[in-house]
Amino acid sequence: MKASVDTILEQLEQATALEDMQAVAEALRDRFNVSHVVYHWVSSSGEQYGCGTYSIEWVERYLEKEYLRVDPVITGCYNSFHPVDWKQLDWSGKATRQFQKEAIEYGVGRQGYSIPTRGPNGQYALFTVTDDRSDEEWEEFAEANRRSLIIVAHAMNEKALELEPGREGPPITALSPREVDAITCLALGQSRAQAAQKLSISEHTLRVYIESARHKLGALNTTHAVARAMQRGLIVV
Amino acid sequence: MKASVDTILEQLEQATALEDMQAVAEALRDRFNVSHVVYHWVSSSGEQYGCGTYSIEWVERYLEKEYLRVDPVITGCYNSFHPVDWKQLDWSGKATRQFQKEAIEYGVGRQGYSIPTRGPNGQYALFTVTDDRSDEEWEEFAEANRRSLIIVAHAMNEKALELEPGREGPPITALSPREVDAITCLALGQSRAQAAQKLSISEHTLRVYIESARHKLGALNTTHAVARAMQRGLIVV
DNA sequence: TGCCCCCTCGCTATTTCTGGGGAGTTGAAA
DNA sequence: TTTCAACTCCCCAGAAATAGCGAGGGGGCA
C-alpha cells in the first residue's frame, strides 16, 4: 500500500531528526515507484548532509572521493533554479565518465531528475529521484510528476533548514556597513590601497575592517572572507 | 483600455531592444493599475541595467549614489528565491532610512513587491511593482496577482538575458579541471602552499593554474578571480 | 551612566603573492 | 599528423598582504 503524497508531506512535517527524513525518502521512493529518492545538501559552511535510499557504500565513496566536485549534477544544477533531467547535463570529460560508471555500478539509476533548492545562508540542496526506466518512460514520468516533485523538494528544503546540523555553531553575524564596503571592494578586484581610496579612508582603517570581517566570518584569509561573504549573500557583487 | 497580461507577454516576446521592454513595463503598470513597474538587473560583470516607469531623476540618483549597496530590496531579495513584500524587509539603519525617505520623495510608492530572478552566469534581477495603496489593499493586490507577477517576472528575465548588453564582451570561458581545483582551494581559505599540497602538485604549478584562471576570468587578482568564479557558479563551495 | 560596537588612525616585521621569463609531456581534436 | 590545450616543473625580485600591538571619538541601548 502506497502512501499518498499528502500523507508523506504530513509525515515530513512531523520530522524532528534526519532519520525521520530518511523514512520520508523511503516513503517517497515507494510512492513514486522509482529506484532512489535522495535529498542532499551543502550547508553554509560547506559540509554535506543528506538522506535517501542510496546504499551506504555509495554515499561513503561519494564523500571519500569528494565527488561533489566531479558530479555534473551538482555543478550543472548550481546555476539552475529549475528542475534538471540528468540527460540535459554534460557527461563528457574523463573524470565525469568514470564517476558515471561507478555510480551505475553502485546502483544509482541511469535516469535522474534533480531539483535544486536554496537556503537563506548559501545552503544548496538537491532533491533527486533516479530510476532505470527507458528514456520515453522517464520523460513521461518526469512530466507527470513535475509539480509534485517540486512541492516535495521545497518541503524537504524547509525541513532540512530547520534541522540543519551545525546550527549551534558560530552564528552568522552580519557585517557592519563599512565592513561590507571593504569586502565588496576586494571582491571587485581592488587592492587594499585602491579600496581605501575609493572609500576615502586610510589603508590602515581599511585593514581593520577586513580583519574584523575576517574574524566575524571565521575566515582564514582575505580571499576566504570574500568567498564566505559572497556565499552567505552578505555582499552584492 | 487595458491590455491583458497575455497580450503584454506577447508584446514582450517581440521585444528586440531595451525600449521595447520599457514599453512593456508601462503596459504592465496600466494593466495592474500600480504606480510603477520596474525591471532592474545586474549583469555578470556587475553593471546595472533596467527598464521601468521610475522618473529619470530617481534612476540617475540611484546609480550615482550607488544605492545598490544600500537598497534593502536588493540585499533582502539577494538570498530569496521567492517574491518579497517590501514590508518584510529590514528598513532600520541610518543610511537605509535616508534612502527610503528619498525614494518616497522621488515618487517611488510606499508599498512594493519584488520578485528576484537569476541568469545562468550570476545575473541577478528584480521585477518590482510599487504603489501607494493602504497595507490591506496592497496585501490583497499582491495575493491576487502573485501568480501573474511571477510569470511576468520570469518572462522579463528571459528577455533580459537575451538582450543583455555586454554580451559581446569576453566570453565566459570554462575553467579547466585543475583550475577549478585550484580556485576552489583558495575559496576555502587555503594558502597557495596548502592548496598545492592538497592537490599534490608543486606550488609553482599551482600558481600557473591560478594565473591562468585569473586571465580567463579577466580578474585583477586572486581574490577577484575567486569572487568571479563563485559568482559565475564555476566552483562549488 | 556605563557598556559595547562602530569608525578612524598609527607602527613593525614577517610571510605571501605577483608578474615576468622558459620548457617538457600527454592526450584529444582537427 | 599536426596542433593545441592541459598539466607539470623551475627561477627571481619587487610589491602586497598579514598578524600582532595600541589609541581615541561617536552613537545607541539599557
Do the beta carbons of residue B155 and residue B168 sit within 8 Å?
no
What integer is the mean pLDDT of B22-32? 95
Q: Search chain B and give the residue with CA nearest A81.
A: B118
What integer is the mean pLDDT of B72-83? 77
**Could you tell me which residues come within 8 angstroms of residue A62 by beta carbon, excluding any fewer than 6 positions away?**
A68, A71
Report pLDDT for B171: 44
Under DSSP, the state recorded for A71 is -
Confidence of residue B83 (pLDDT cuts 50, 70, 90): confident
Grid coordinates representing A39 are 535529498
Q: Computed over its alpha carbons, how large is the radius of gyration of chain A? A: 21
**Nearest partner of A88 among A72, A103, A65, judged by Cα:** A72
Report pLDDT for B170: 42
Closest CB to B118: pick one of A81, A124, A181.
A81
Question: Using the CB atom, is residue A202 less than 7 Å from strand C?
Answer: yes
Low-confidence ranges of chain A (pLDDT < 70): 1, 79-82, 120, 165-173
Residue type for position A31? R
Q: Search chain A and give the residue with CA nearest B119.
A: A79
* DSSP result, A168-221: TSS--PPPPHHHHHHHHHHHTT--HHHHHHHHTS-HHHHHHHHHHHHHHHT-SS
Under DSSP, the state recorded for A113 is E
Q: Is A227 on the interface with B (CB under 8 A)?
A: yes
Q: Is B98 on the interface with A (CB under 8 A)?
A: no
Distance from CA of B90 to the nearest CA of A (A): 13
* Cα–Cα distance list, B111 to A52, B71, B228 (Å): 43, 14, 34
Do the beta carbons of residue A114 and residue A39 sit within 8 Å?
no
Give the CA angle between residues B123, B126, B128 to the nearest 5°. Answer: 165
**Could you tell me which residues come within 8 angstroms of residue A178 by beta carbon, excluding any fewer than 6 positions away?**
A199, A209
Residue type for position A114? S
Q: What share of chain B has pLDDT > 90, as a percent?
A: 39
Q: Is A82 on the interface with B (CB under 8 A)?
A: no
Report pLDDT for A78: 76
Q: Which domains does chain B have, with CATH numbers?
A: 5-163 (3.30.450.80), 177-231 (1.10.10.10)
CB contact under 8 A, A80 and B120: yes
Under DSSP, the state recorded for B189 is T
Q: Distance between CA atoms of A237 and B45, rounded to whole angstroms?
A: 8
Closest CB to A226: pick one of B118, B180, B223.
B223
pLDDT in tens, B142-199: 888 987 888 888 889 889 888 876 554 444 557 888 898 999 999 988 998 889 988 8
CB contact under 8 A, B181 and A69: yes
Report pLDDT for B79: 66
Query: Which single residue is written with the C-alpha cell 559565475?
Result: B232
SS3 of residue B138 by DSSP: helix
Query: Which single residue is written with the C-alpha cell 593554474?
Result: B209
Report pLDDT for A106: 93
Report pLDDT for B120: 66
What integer is the mean pLDDT of B213-217? 88
* Residue A187 with chain B: CB contacts under 8 Å: 223-224, 227
CB contact under 8 A, A181 and B69: yes
Question: Using the CB atom, is residue B202 less than 7 Å from strand C?
Answer: no
**Nearest partner of B79 among B118, B47, B134, B120, judged by Cα:** B118
CB contact under 8 A, B220 and A190: yes
Q: What is the three-state SS of A120-151?
A: CCCCEEEEEEEECCCHHHHHHHHHHHHHHHHH
Do the beta carbons of residue A129 and residue A112 sit within 8 Å?
yes
Q: Distance between CA atoms of A2 and A20, rounded to whole angstroms?
A: 17
Query: Which single residue is written with the C-alpha cell 532512489?
Result: A36
- Protein A212 CA to nucleic acid D23 C1', in Å? 17
Q: Search chain A and give the residue with CA nearest B222.
A: A223
Bridge partners for A42 per DSSP: A48, A124
Q: Distance between CA atoms of B98 and B91, rounded to whole angstroms?
A: 10
Name residues 137-176 of chain A within 8 A of B (Cβ).
none
Confidence of residue B94 (pLDDT cuts 50, 70, 90): confident
CB atoms within 10 A of CB A146: 13
Q: Is A208 on the interface with B (CB under 8 A)?
A: no
